[in-house]
Structure 1
Amino acid sequence: MTATIPQPETLPDGRAALPIRLSGGGLSLRLSPFGARVQDLRMDGVDHPLVLGSDHLAPYVGDMIYHGALVGRFANRIADGRFTLDGRNHLTDRNEGGATTLHGGSEGSAAQLWTVEAQSESSATLTLRMPDGHMGFPGTLDVRVVHSLPGDGTLAIEITATTDAPTPCNFAHHGYFALDGGDDVTTQTLRIDADRYLPVDARMIPLPEAPAPVDGTRFDFRTPRPIGDAGIDHNFCLNGSGMRRVLRLEAVNGLSLDVETDQPGLQVYDARNQEPILGLDGRRYGPFAGLALETQAWPDAPNRADFPDAILRPGETYRHRVSYIFARG
């Protein structure tokens, strides 16, 4: 018998996840309903992708599970896979070293096949229902995400969610950005509008004394400077509130990326632990191949009353907006 060869747009279990192609404002986007993920993002006149990705779905079931995906229902980490909500204890899937819940657990939103609700030339709406008890979280959560290319080199993402019971709710776009098409991003210049950050322990859980000032630390990016290779995988406590510009990334080729969001936090990860893998256009990704920029609530917020609230309750609507704005100098 001849073995069936998996197709680029088919999951291992045989389900199809046909890509959605969008264009507008000088950008073109390939979006997969598996994980509501950005597989590829291009800019007119630029000869390389702007993100790390793959032409095939298979890597996204393995080492690239979070690349380009919408992660949740609680992005980042929950210490010990446990929290107490309204006097009730909850145990969640400890999918990171048996010690923490990472990005909503092993079957979080990045591992789900979303439903395509609507699509136009420059916009797509995807939905997902996460049932009560899924990965240990309470409440049936209905999530909707809109990816759009509204113009002027902008990728806009808007996430909303409702629930029938109180639950942690914190989604993040987990894209890895690479502006110059090179092997690493360490020489790219970064500015972050944050006076504080969250120092973490060996499990990447915020320390009791967090947040801490960035002043005098390697996390001070208030003035633009190269990313470097010292290692960053931390939440920056963003200044201000409402929709505002919080970050600028620049490469020597003249490309820049500005990030605008209404969220209180931004996880910056320099991919220093990226295992070698084959990506878009046959590129080989290794350590520091891209920079993850995840606007979000603060990690472990369900266990920290001193952090911004990340609990969604019935009758409320979770809203998260982020825009990635690309330009050429």
Structure 2
Amino acid sequence: MNLKFNLLILVLLISGTACLSQTKTTVIQEKVKLSIKGEKVATWEGQDVFKYTLDNGKMQVELTNYGGIISRIITPDKDGKLENVVLALETVPDYFTKNGPYLGAAVGRYANRIGKASFALDDETFHITKNNGENTLHGGAKGFGVKVWKSETYKKDDAIGVKMTYESVDGEEGFPGNLMTTLWMELTSTNELKLLFESSTDKKTVVNLTNHSYFNLSGITGDVRDHELQIFADAITPAGAGQIPTGEIKAVAGTPFDFQTPKNLGAQLDALGEGFDHNYVTKRANSPELKKIAIVKHPDSGRVMEVFSTAPGVQLYTANHVRNFAGADGKTYQPHWALCLEPEAWPDSPNKPSFPSTSLAPGEKYVHEIVYKFGAEK
């Protein structure tokens, strides 16, 4: 009996070892192949402009060091069909002169609006460029989205990306301080598009950086009224004239602004009676926590996008002013053909002491991380 029992144990041990070996081999075979390609496509203001293509074997992201622009996000639907899901221009050089809506751009020094194009720091008032009526929008007339960034590619075990740097000199668009900014843009093996902004300054200034992609998960077949949206925020900062916040924080419960549970975007647009262009409060104070702030779904295609950010707010914009706009692939974009979810600080924070601060002093570091995670549901 003991001999038979020992033989049985030996057989089980050999069998278990074989199973472990087979499992390990399977994991190695399923390892994702990551690739990145860069090519010079133009020269702008004496600097080389590159187009980069990031591929993880399942989806692709195209971007450029002109404006830190994301020009394509090509991702599969529930049946595996690959389509671009961001509004785009046909070629990279088209962005030099035709990107009025900031399609896919890295915007700064201050994303969104600063009222009356001025703010004070330590009792000194700074007057910055007016480019939105009496206000400043997305950093002024020539913000970060129209600058050529220095760029280099990199690879990691689970991601490929492009590192970009831009130095905004003291006085650019009226902002104080020499501001050095680094932007890492990478695609992971798990279909995450990660953006990381880091800035430092030699003089006290204000900083608020984000990406301005216009998403349409249908593959841009029409408007986004059929999309489902959830925003993890219980309040907005209502705005007055010129879309400048009043300083209030207003609860969204029971209003058309309420996306705390998933809502059909078209129904909410109808209830509001206009397009969305509002800041949602995702945090009440600055913190380094990377928080899930939104989920977007397109029921017909099955595509899903989750959005994460460390910022205290996110601007929901439904492309209200994009009208008869000639886009890529022969398509003409119209109002509500996309939605922007711009993770960022609250608008006009430099003039609202009760809002989370956007000031940056020498020796400090501004850090903002954004993650867009893509998937599909049957």
TM-score range, shorter chain: over 0.9
Per the alignment, residue 246 of structure 1 pairs with 293
Taking the aligned partners of 2:101 and 2:319, their CA distance within structure 1 comes to 14
**Partner residue in 2 for 1:55:** 90
Structure 2 unmatched ranges of 5 or more: 1-39
Contact 1:12/1:58 (<8 A) preserved: no
1:173 aligns with 2:208: no
Q: Retained in 2: the 8 A contact 1:10–1:16?
A: yes
Give 1:186's aligned residue: 225
Structure 2 partner of 1:116: 151
Residue by residue, what CA displacement relative to the aligned partner does 1:11-54 show, whole Å, maximum 9, x if unpaired? 67575412011112622111111100101111143332011111
- Which amino acid counterpart does residue 258 of structure 2 have in structure 1? D
C-alpha displacement at 1:183, in angstroms?
0.9
Identity %: 33
**Offset of 1:257 from its aligned partner?**
0.6
Count of aligned positions: 320
Matched, 1:215 2:215: no
Deviation at 1:62, TM superposition (A): 2.9
Larger radius of gyration, structure 1 or 2?
2
Q: Is 1:103–2:152 an aligned residue pair? A: no
**SS of alignment partner, residue 281 of structure 1:** helix
Equivalent residue number for residue 3 of structure 1: none
Are residue 66 (structure 1) and residue 102 (structure 2) matched? Answer: yes
My pick for the range that moved more, 149-158 or 76-85, is: 149-158
TM-score by length of 2: 0.81
Give the letter for the 1:247 counterpart.
A
User: What's 1:22 paired with?
Assistant: 54
- Structure 2: how far apart are the matches of 1:60 and 1:48? 24
* 1:128-277 alignment runs, 5 A limit: 128-181=166-219, 182-208=221-247, 210-228=248-266, 229=269, 230-239=274-283, 242-252=289-299, 253-277=301-325
Supply the distance in 1 between the matched residues of 2:88 and 2:48 (Cα, whole angstroms). 18
Mapped to 2, the partners of 1:204 and 1:320 lie a distance apart of 24
Following the alignment from structure 1 to structure 2, what is the Cα–Cα distance between the partners of residues 10 and 117? 16
Counterpart amino acid of residue 184 in structure 1: D
- 1:140 offset after TM fit, Å? 0.2
Which letter does structure 2 place at the counterpart of 1:80? Answer: K
**CA apart distance, 1:60:** 4.7
> What secondary structure does 2:120 align onto?
strand
Matched AA of 1:245: K
Residues 326 and 52 (structure 1), Cα distance of their counterparts in 2 relative to 1, 3 Å cut: same
What CA RMSD, in Å, does the superposition of the two structures yield over aligned residues? 1.8
Q: Is 1:324 aligned to 2:362, yes or no?
A: no
In structure 1, what is the Cα distance between the partners aligned to 2:138 and 2:57?
31
1-side partners of 2:260 and 2:161: how far apart? 33
Aligned match of 2:74: 42
- CA offset digits 1:263-289 (Å, max 9, x no partner): 100001000210222222222211111
Instruction: Please give the secondary structure, in 2, of the residue aligned with 1:89.
Output: strand
Q: Is the 8 A contact 1:129 1:140 kept in 2?
A: yes
Structure 2 residue aligned with 1:89: 125
Secondary structure of 1:294's counterpart equals: strand
Alpha-carbon deviation of 1:116?
0.6
Shift of the 47–282 alpha-carbon distance from structure 1 to 2, 3 Å rule, reads farther
Distance 1:60 1:198, change over 3 A: farther
TM-score, normalised by the number of residues in structure 1: 0.93
Matched AA of 2:281: C
**Distance in 1 separating the partners of 2:184 and 2:47:** 22
Determine helix, strand or coil for the equivalent of 2:49.
Answer: coil
Q: Deviations over 1:61-113 (max 9, x none)?
A: 2344511010000000000000010110100000112x111000011101101
